[in-house]
Amino acid sequence: METMIQQTAAPVGQLKTNRGLLKFILLSIVTFGIYALVFYSSISNDINIVASRYDGKKTMHYCLLCFLVSPITFGIAGIVWMHKISNRIGNELKRREVGYSFCAADYWLWGVLGSLIFVGPFVYLHKLSKAMNLLCEDYNAKG
C-alpha cells in the first residue's frame, strides 16, 4: 500500500490577523501603554518572518529600539524605524501582489503631518494594522 504525502506551502505556525485600531486604543489605555509595545513588537517579528527570506533584511525588534537605541539617538532612531518598516511592509505587499497600498509616505503624511489635524496618527495605525493583517493572511495561506 502506497501512502501519499501532500505538501503544502502554508506555514506550520499561523501569524495573527486580528490587529485593529479600536483594539489598539482600548488595550493601550487599559494596560497604560504596554499593549502598544506588544503591538509594535509583534509587527517587527511578523514582518521578519514574512519578508526576510525574500528581501534579506531584518527589522530591529521594537523593544530594543524603544528602550535602548531610541533614547541614545534622542528619538531619531524611532522615526527612521517607522519609515523603514512602512516601506518594507509596502514592498512585501507589492511582491505578494496584495491589492493594498501602503508605504513610508503613509507614515510621513498620516503619522507625522496628519498629527496636525489630530486624527492622522490614528489613520496611519489603521492602515498599518490592515496592511499587516493582509500580509499575515497571505503568509498563512501561501507561506
- Rounded CA separation 22/19 (Å): 9
Question: 13 pLDDT band (50/70/90 cuts)?
Answer: confident
Looking at per-residue confidence, does 65 or 143 come out higher?
65
pTM of the entire predicted model: 0.89
Residue 116 has pLDDT above 80, yes or no: yes
CA 45 to chain CA mean position, Å: 8
Contact call for residues 21 and 125 (beta carbons, < 8 A): yes
- Give me the residue spans of the domains in the chain: 21-142
Percentage of the chain beyond pLDDT 70 is 92
- What span, in angstroms and rounded, lies between the C-alpha atoms of 131 and 35? 19
Q: Please state, in angstroms and rounded to a whole number, the distance separating the CA atoms of residues 126 and 3.
A: 47
Residues 73-85: tens digit of each pLDDT:
999 999 999 999 9
What three-state secondary structure class fits 73?
coil
Can you tell me whether residue 128 is helix, strand or coil?
helix
Residue 6 has pLDDT above 90, yes or no: no
What is the spatial distance between Cα 105 and Cα 119, in angstroms, rounded to a whole number?
16
Calculate the average pLDDT of the chain: 92
Question: Quick one: pLDDT at residue 2?
Answer: 52
pLDDT in tens, 45-76: 999 999 999 999 999 999 999 999 999 999 99
**pLDDT, mean of residues 3-25:** 78
Using alpha carbons, list the distances in angstroms from residue 105 to 17, 48, 81, 102.
23, 21, 14, 8
Q: How far is CA 74 from CA 65, 66, 115, in A?
A: 11, 11, 20
Q: For residue 66, how far is the Cα from the chain centroid?
A: 15
pLDDT above 90 coverage of the chain, percent: 89
Residue 5 has pLDDT above 90, yes or no: no
Residue 10 is predicted with a pLDDT of: 65
Residue 82 pLDDT: 97
